[in-house]
Amino acid sequence: MSNARTARYSRRGLLAAGGALGLGALVTACGSEDSEDGGSDAKGAAKSGPWSFEDDRGKTVSLDHAPSKIVAFTGVAAALYDYGIEVKGVFGPTKTKDGKADVQAGDMDVSKLTVFGNRFDQFNVEQYAAFQPEVLITTTFDAAGSLWYVPEASKDKIAKLAPSVAVSVFDRQLPKPLQRMAELAGSLGADLKAVKVVEAKKRFEAASERLRKAAKSRPEIKVLAGSASDAIFYVSGSNFSIDLEYFKALGVNLVEPPEKAKKANGGWFENLSWENVDKYPADIIMMDDRASTIQPADITEATWKKLPAVRAGQVISRSPEPILSYDKCTPLVENLAKAVESAKKVA
């Protein structure tokens, strides 16, 4: 594998490339993205009358009607889509290089989406203005409430064009952001009592209980959350990450890099060279599934292939930026539960 670039990147940039949740390929500077023309009407029984929503920054957005011209971070749009709210204006990882749907696009038809920026620090402000958005919705990964994937350089211009709503995915367990996204979808007209929605939540709760039981019965099974780039293997700690904090609370025996080792990366993760990829014994390895990272099948490092978990075939995928619907998060919990239940002790 090639050497890592020596340029310095901001923590937000590292996060976007895979960073605080397991860094993948480093961010590259880029210009505007060509995208499909299209409307922005959300398909859902939008409530009549005034609309307001208090987000996780404590900020309330109020409009004289429920917004239909919504622009959202791709993963947020994918979550709303699962609730029947179809958002057609997005920004963030939406299409892969071959034009297919990015993993963060969920079940959306990406060919019908208007994409204002497909990569980090890419946001076509002029196109966004022409779209005439009523609200921008995204997540936030820090205590300050920074809007995820909204570029620092253009955030003020973007803010003037439409109010914003942020759902926090920082330093809390997965059920809280799931609840908040459901509440947001409900405010936009989703039927939270629909059979599909109710059953999805029940499946998530059942999966969580299954993982709790698996972790309790197999406390000896050590699980490592990793992410791969050209020259560095990133080991994520459980603090700050909504999925890992939740898994730990359910009893999963997670590898925890020491705080000192994570300090240079904001406390999120530790950098390891590929020569030292075996630093932490692990029976199961969860690998970052985002397109910005190198996937397990494409890792050629001999040290990786020698890892006991790899040799035993005990490598599963992880979504550090999960689509916040019960429908999409349930498989993530189920996959880990199944892995813990069936894992051989190899570390």
Q: What are the pLDDT digits (tens) for 215-254?
A: 999 999 999 999 999 999 999 999 899 999 999 999 999 9
Query: Sheet containing 164-168: which strands, arranged edge to edge?
Result: 114-115, 89-91, 70-73, 135-140, 164-168
> What is the per-residue pLDDT for 333?
98
**Contact call for residues 327 and 82 (beta carbons, < 8 A):** yes
Axis crossing angle, helix 74-82 with helix 326-342, rounded to the nearest 10: 100
Q: What is the mean pLDDT of the chain?
A: 89
Confidence (pLDDT) at 30? 31
- pLDDT at site 16: 58
- pLDDT surpassing 50 at residue 23: no
Say what the pLDDT of residue 14 is: 55
Share of the chain above pLDDT 90, in %: 82
CA-CA-CA-CA torsion sign (13, 16, 19, 20): positive
Check residue 203 and give its pLDDT: 98
Report the pLDDT value the prediction gives residue 200, as an integer from 0 to 100: 98
Whether the full predicted model's pTM is greater than 0.85, yes or no, is yes
pLDDT at 4 over 70: no
The residue whose two tokens read 């011209």 is 69
What's the Cα-to-Cα distance from 87 to each of 61, 133, 333, rounded to whole Å? 18, 11, 26
Question: Which of 16, 51, 62, 326 has its CA nearest to residue 181?
Answer: 326
Q: At what angle do helices 175-187 and 242-249 cross, to 10 degrees?
A: 130
pLDDT tier at 46, thresholds 50, 70, 90: low
pLDDT at position 126: 98
Average pLDDT of span 199-227: 98
Say whether pLDDT at 40 is over 70. Answer: no
pLDDT in tens, 100-109: 999 999 999 9
Q: Which helix (H) or strand (E) holds 225?
A: strand 222-228
pLDDT digits (tens, 9 = 90+) for 332-344: 999 999 999 999 9
Amino acid of residue 14 = L
Q: How confident is the model at residue 263 (pLDDT cuts 50, 70, 90)?
A: confident
Confidence of residue 259 (pLDDT cuts 50, 70, 90): confident
Measured in whole angstroms, the distance separating CA 41 from the mean position of its chain's CA atoms is: 24
